[in-house]
Chain A
Amino acid sequence: MRNEDVIPTFTVALVGTPNSGKSTLFNTLTGLHQKIANYPGVTIEPSIGSFYYNSIRFNLIDLPGTYSLAAKSIDEEYTTKFIKGELSPQQPKPDCIVLVIDGTKLEKGLFLYTYLQEYNVPIIIAITMIDSIKAAGSVFDDVTLERLLSTPVVGVVGSKGLGIDTLKEQLVSNVGSTESTNPKLSNVENIEERVAWSNNVMQQVIANNHPNVTSERIDKIVLHPKLGLILFTFILAIFFQSIFSWAEPVMNLIEELVALLQGSIDSIVQNGVLHDFISNGIISGVGSVVIFLPQIIILTLLVSILEDSGYLARAAFLVDRIMGIFGLQGRSFIPLLGSFACAIPGIMSARIIPSYKDRLITILIAPLMTCSARLPVYTLLIAAFIPDISFYGFISLQVVVLAMLYTIGLLSGLIIALVLKKTKFRSDITPFLLEFPPYRFPTLKNISISIWIRTKDFLTTAGTIILSMSVMLWVLTEFPKTEAPIGTNPETAQMVQLENSFAGMIGKTIQPVFAPIGFDWKITISVLGSFAARETFISFMGQIYSTKDDTEHQPLRQVLKTSISLPTALSILIFYVFALQCMSTIAIIKRETQSWKWSAFAFAYTFVLAYVGSFCTYHLAIWFCS
């Protein structure tokens, strides 16, 4: 029977202004049956989902929030193209549009309606926030609205599921209709006419309008010049603290699990190469993907709370001036702050920046923020080379150097942002414009869905790139196989292996490139090898330098002190401040910008900074020491 696979299927576009409750409605309708849409060459990735009603399948697309369809921004262009069916050959014109309107901002939604009604697609209007309008004592006359527009109007409360069945009924009866049911508006063409029409309709529909003053009362404190900044600093501190402290125990657990799995493989698989492939190729490769999940989940959680509650717009308002100095916008502080923990979740959270160019700049400078993976490298080299002395009894020189490394990263990132902004990335809509949404309680459902979607997307897109890169790196460091003489200790054997592997050969070949910045072939190989993750630099250095005297196990820091010079140590430090020594970051930049070009650009410019920075540091240090 063919009947079963011919379920009638219709495409429904969900359109609305930002903060209209569109995503909540989308989540209510589709639940977990959604994913991030991905058309080749298109940078906007709305969610698509599906649901069944009356044996009809509805494919729902959550188009980006937009105020008009005048196609000024890429969001509007995307929405316009989608409605015209010009976005992608695989994606025909939608069968119906659901226009989501925040009832407390009816005129904004009606304004958007004046554009939508031009496209010959049936429209259903879903009014959200019906409960807050009634709570405020206003009267909303949906019958008049329906009559004035000749368009079905349904009141919904997405979070409570009210009006959802009525909306579905309306969808069933409207998608089938071939001719548009919406008569065109006449004499509504320029912006002024559209605004006037919207205001006029609104006045006929809403009576006894009481503005919602709760948000304005809260803003007296939240946006207060002094109190607001104090609150902001406080929230930022909690935010920062939780990415670090909540994620760490889980990350340690993942590392232990990986070690446990590798241990259990030892007893099952005896074959050398197969064992190595499973243990060091596959298991540690998967581990290197999964290790990012705790931070991604926590950052997505925190960002969703900030965004859904309405605080994010306020925070952006407060810090806009400071970010503006560097050509960034208020919202950029979230991804940049997150990148101090790890650039992966940080870069993913750059999606909260509406302007594509501002988002791209933020993504490109995020790797310069000092992530936690650099810290082990810093602390080891500082402990080995910077004398443990204090000025005035309490300012430790070691801490000063550490703080300097953080500052150099941050400042150079901000300067690069300014340069990019002034050259290639003039913003789409230059002056800063921000609308304050009313404060709302974030719902558990919305937050958990966004965590689920982001996690799934990370594992399936960036995760697969990271996994294949780590397997590739494993091949480069493990082949060709070198047999160490019997009786050699395992660390030495590993070192001999690394030295003779492809990575070792590459390291030795390109070593002359790194000679001017004071790297010998051992450091060069360690730097190359730590491309999987920066902190592995230490274990590589440990392996390499344990060869000299493995009779007595000195701490690595002692060994380093005698094996490398101070100028070289400083040069390594500066190299790690700048260099994008992290394949996972390269993978996530590719994912978020949809192009390897930007990954290559980020890698190249940070490498130039790293090389020049290390060169200057190395030669200055030699000059000072002599």
Chain B
Amino acid sequence: MINIFNLTLGATAKVVEFPTNSQFIERLKEFGLIPGTVFTLVRRAPLGGPIEIKFGESRLALRSDTNDLIYVEPVLH
């Protein structure tokens, strides 16, 4: 189980848990990113900016200050 920001580019992973609960986490779940959701890390913005993840038809950008909020498990193909 690793932090979402430690995933390599292009990796596919599954959301395992959100260790804390906050409005932000609620919002993520509303976007459909609930534990068990499989997503792909599509890209990172330049200069250590946000990351983009994709699951289903949804594409979300997350800022790196969301560190330690989302734990994931890489899915091997």
Distance A432 CA – B24 CA, assembled complex (angstroms)? 9
> A226's closest neighbor in chain B, by CB?
B46
**Residue tally, chain A, CB below 8 Å to B:** 39
Using an 8 Å CB-CB cutoff, how does the interface string of A183-214 with B read, 1 for contact, 0 for none? 00000000110010011000000000001100
Contact status A191-B29, CB under 8 Å: yes
Contact of B28 with A229 in the complex, beta carbons under 8 Å: no
Residues of B within 8 A of A430 (CB): 22, 24, 65
User: Is B32 a contact partner of A107 (Cβ separation < 8 A)?
Assistant: yes
Asked if A387 CB lies within 8 Å of chain B CBs, one says no
B19 contacts chain A at the CB level, 8 A cutoff: no
Residues of A within 8 A of B57 (CB): 104-105, 211-212
Contact A432 B26 (CB under 8 A): no
The one of A111, A211, A317, A429 in contact with B45, judged by C-beta atoms closer than 8 angstroms, is A317
Q: Among A7-15, A142-150, A318-326, A551-559, which stretch is in contact with chain B?
A: A318-326
Assess whether B47 is interfacial by the CB under 8 Å rule: yes
B contacts with A: majority SS: mixed
Interchain CB contact under 8 A, A429 and B24: yes
Contacts of B50 in A (CB 8 A): 317, 320-321, 432, 434
The residue on A at minimum CB distance from B56 is A107
Establish whether residues B27 and A432, one from each chain, have CB atoms under 8 Å apart when the complex forms.
Answer: no
Q: Using Cβ atoms and an 8 Å threshold, which residues of chain A touch B28?
A: 433
A431 at the binding interface (Cβ < 8 Å): yes
Residues of B within 8 A of A429 (CB): 23-24, 27
Residue of A nearest to B28 (CB): A433
> Chain A residues with Cβ under 8 A from B47's Cβ?
321-322
Complex Cα spacing A318 to B62, Å: 12
Contacting residues, chain A, for B24 (C-beta < 8 A):
429-431, 433
User: Could you tell me the distance in whole angstroms from the C-beta of A291 to the nearest C-beta in chain B?
Assistant: 38
**B45, A318: Cβ atoms closer than 8 Å:** yes
Whether the pair B27, A433 counts as a contact (CB closer than 8 A) is yes
Once the chains are docked, how many angstroms separate the CA of A68 from the CA of B26? 10
- Chain A neighbourhood of B6, CB < 8 A: none
List the B side residues contacting A192 at CB < 8 Å. 29, 34
A52 CB within 8 Å of chain B: no
Q: Determine the distance from Cα of A103 to Cα of B62 in the docked complex, in whole angstroms.
A: 25
- A432, B63: Cβ atoms closer than 8 Å: yes
Which residue of chain B has the shortest Cβ distance to A220 in the bound complex?
A: B43
Which residues of chain B have C-beta atoms less than 8 A from A212's C-beta? 57
B23 contact set on A, CB distance < 8 A:
72, 428-429
A431 and B66: CB pair below 8 A? yes
For residues 1 through 49 of chain B, which have their beta carbon under 8 Å from a beta carbon of chain A? 22-24, 26-32, 34, 43-49
Contact at A436–B61, with CB atoms within 8 Å?
yes
Cα–Cα, bound, A212→B56 (Å):
11
Interface size class of B (residues with CB under 8 A): 20 to 34
Proximity bits, A63-74, B CB within 8 Å = 1, else 0: 000011010100
Q: Are B62 and A431 in contact (CB under 8 A)?
A: yes
Question: Which residues does chain A contribute within 8 Å of B22, judged by CB atoms?
Answer: 430
CB contacts (< 8 Å) of B60 on chain A: these are 433-436
Nearest residue, chain B, Cβ from A215? B59
Known: A317-B50, A318-B49, A435-B59. A70 touches B32 (CB 8 A): no
Q: Which residue in A67, A431, A436 is a CB contact (below 8 Å) of B52?
A: A436
- A108 in contact with B32 (CB, 8 Å): yes
Are B58 and A105 in contact (CB-based, < 8 A)? yes
Whether A70 contacts B34 in the complex (CB less than 8 A), given A320-B49, A433-B61, comes out as: no
Complex contacts, B26 vs chain A, CB 8 Å? 70, 72, 191
Given A324-B63, A432-B61, A434-B60, are A72 and B27 also a contact pair (CB < 8 Å)? Answer: yes
CA A44 – CA B22 in complex, angstroms? 24
Check A431–B61 contact: CB distance below 8 A.
no
Inter-chain CA distance A428–B24, complex, in Å, is 9
Q: How far is A318 from B50 in the complex, measured between Cα atoms in Å?
A: 8
Which residues from B are CB-within-8-Å of A321? 45-50
Question: CB of A399 within 8 A of chain B?
Answer: no
A433 in contact with B62 (CB, 8 Å): yes
Closest residue of chain A to B64 (Cβ to Cβ) is A321
Q: Which residue of B lies closest to A196 (CB)?
A: B34
Contact of A318 with B69 in the complex, beta carbons under 8 Å: no
A107 neighbours in B (Cβ, 8 Å): 32, 56
With an 8 A cutoff between CB atoms, is A405 at the interface?
A: no
Contact between chains at A195 and B34 (CB < 8 Å): yes
- B30 — which chain A residues lie within 8 A by C-beta? 67-68, 70, 111, 191, 195
Contact status A431-B58, CB under 8 Å = no
Complex partner residue of B65 from A191, A228, A432, CB under 8 angstroms:
A432
B73 to chain A, nearest CB (A): 19
Known contacts A432-B61, A435-B60; can you find 18 more A-B pairs with CB under 8 A?
A67-B27, A67-B30, A67-B31, A107-B32, A191-B30, A195-B30, A225-B45, A317-B50, A321-B50, A324-B49, A324-B63, A428-B23, A432-B66, A433-B28, A434-B61, A435-B58, A435-B61, A436-B52
In the A-B complex, the 8 residue pairs with the closest CB atoms:
A432-B63, A321-B49, A434-B61, A436-B59, A431-B66, A191-B29, A321-B47, A225-B46
Interface residues of A (CB under 8 A from B): 67-68, 70, 72, 104-105, 107-108, 111, 191-192, 195, 198-199, 211-212, 216, 223, 225-226, 228-229, 313, 317-322, 324, 428-436
22 pairs, A vs B, C-beta closer than 8 Å:
A67-B30, A72-B23, A105-B57, A107-B56, A191-B30, A195-B29, A223-B45, A225-B45, A317-B49, A317-B52, A321-B45, A322-B47, A324-B49, A429-B24, A430-B24, A431-B65, A431-B66, A432-B62, A432-B66, A433-B31, A434-B50, A436-B60
